[in-house]
A and B are shown apart, each in its own frame.
Chain A
């Protein structure tokens, strides 16, 4: 699998709507996997990662509303205050859409640190909202998930691009 391909150097078929939906559902499923101990502290937010992939690579197909609705779903499945994840995701979506021109000239590896920053700022917004609501500070390993997410980014973007490449290849024949 070539991870280092820059997305803008090849012309791909436009992504199918159902594939975006499916990827988000799978990501939500991955977030819901019950883990304990260290694995739990290291579990990245897959929904945020997959969403960011679509915001960076297909900004015309996805709007900020999607981030908001996925955030509400996450809030409910996590039993947190309604709007807590929605807020963080909306801010992340905004940042990804602002940076998406710049991201386009980098490959997966070079995108990763920037994605890490976007993930971190989303978490900081969520943290600030929770602190204002009166929660205690959850400890520094709250941010570990973002770092793992950043490291997973090249692999994740390669996986998400694979089906599109397949469709493009079958079309060219």
Chain B
């Protein structure tokens, strides 16, 4: 077909049609990303484009830090003295801890229990705190090039912060404890009660769900990781119970907690690498197997 209309009169698809195309495409992407998680590769490519910009946007902050360090000599001297003192105290405690660890290993050997796994840790800096009210995440400046893997636990000096959920070549995404649907298995320090703590999507609010009204739990109870998930090492502080609402009309109590760690306070976080737990065969199963083999022979 010969084109007779001049260029000027040629029409592209109407504005409404173009908008509808892109709207449907975005809805499709949202469904693909949130329901099926197909877009890992695409995300990785985009992240490499965005990374230099994020680094650049972070420059004023690091410059401010450097400048304020220059002007705070007296404070630094004071801090240094304080840290030296703290170091001595910590060292004493560390020596005791080593002795206890050795004793613990000995006892565990005697009891034939599995050895506790030692964790390697890596320090990473918060690159960007996203301006998105719908999810609680932060971006760290270390990625798969530095050996960060999805699934690793992230802590600060007080307690658990969250978990690495996506890793890009140069950065990684950490889902915070307070993120909606992020759950951590915990234990009450006072009585060893096990439960699962979940985020609510609101800042600074965690929830213990499905606990009966008569559960032995009090306001002010400290919660630590129980370690049964194999992701978080056991014994890390997670949250403190802040409010308990025991309404007899409901089966479960409403237990609200505040997270122990604060992401807003510090710039550096620690990424713990837990070696993947080997799925050991239970004793019964091996017995059954050997019995079956014996029968065959």
A residues in contact (CB < 8 Å) with B:
25, 28-34, 36, 40, 43, 63-65, 67-68, 71-73, 76-84, 86-87, 90-91, 93-94, 97-98, 129-130, 133-136, 138-139, 142
Contact = CB atoms under 8 A, between A and B. Distances in A.
Given A33-B57, A64-B18, A76-B50, A83 B180 contact: no
A81 B180 CA distance: 13
B143 to A, nearest CB: 13
Given A68-B22, A138-B134, A83 B27 contact: yes
Contacts of B128: 32, 34, 77
Contact of B53 (A77, A84, A139): A77
B263 to A, nearest CB: 11
Interface residues of B, number: 47
Question: What is the interface of chain B mostly: helix, strand, loop, or mixed?
Answer: helix
Interface string B125-143: 0101111111101010000
Given A64-B22, A77-B50, 14 more contacts: A32-B57, A32-B128, A36-B129, A76-B47, A81-B135, A86-B22, A87-B26, A93-B19, A98-B15, A133-B34, A133-B134, A134-B180, A136-B201, A138-B134
B43 A76 contact: yes
B89 interface: no
A63 B18 contact: yes
Contacts of B18: 63-64
A32 B134 contact: no
Question: What is the interface of chain A mostly: helix, strand, loop, or mixed?
Answer: helix
Nearest to A40: B131
Interface in B108-132: 126, 128-132
6 contacts: A82-B43, A84-B132, A87-B27, A130-B134, A133-B34, A135-B135
A73 B46 contact: yes
Nearest to B138: A79
Interface in B4-20: 15-16, 18-19
A20 B245 CA distance: 55
B46 A138 contact: no
Nearest to B137: A79
A68 B132 CA distance: 18
B30 A133 contact: yes
A136 B200 contact: yes
A68 B26 contact: yes
Given A76-B47, A79-B139, A142-B133, A32 B53 contact: yes
Contacts of A79: 130, 132, 135, 137, 139, 166, 173
A74 to B, nearest CB: 9
A28 B53 contact: yes
Contacts of A87: 23, 26-27, 30
Contacts of A73: 46, 49-50
Contacts of A130: 134
A135 B57 contact: no
Nearest to B33: A82
Contacts of B264: 36
Given A76-B47, A87-B23, A91-B19, A81 B130 contact: no
Contacts of B180: 134-136
Nearest to B173: A79
A136 B129 CA distance: 19
Interface string B25-40: 1111110111000010
Nearest to A33: B57
Contact of B19 (A40, A72, A94): A94
Nearest to B200: A136
Nearest to A130: B134
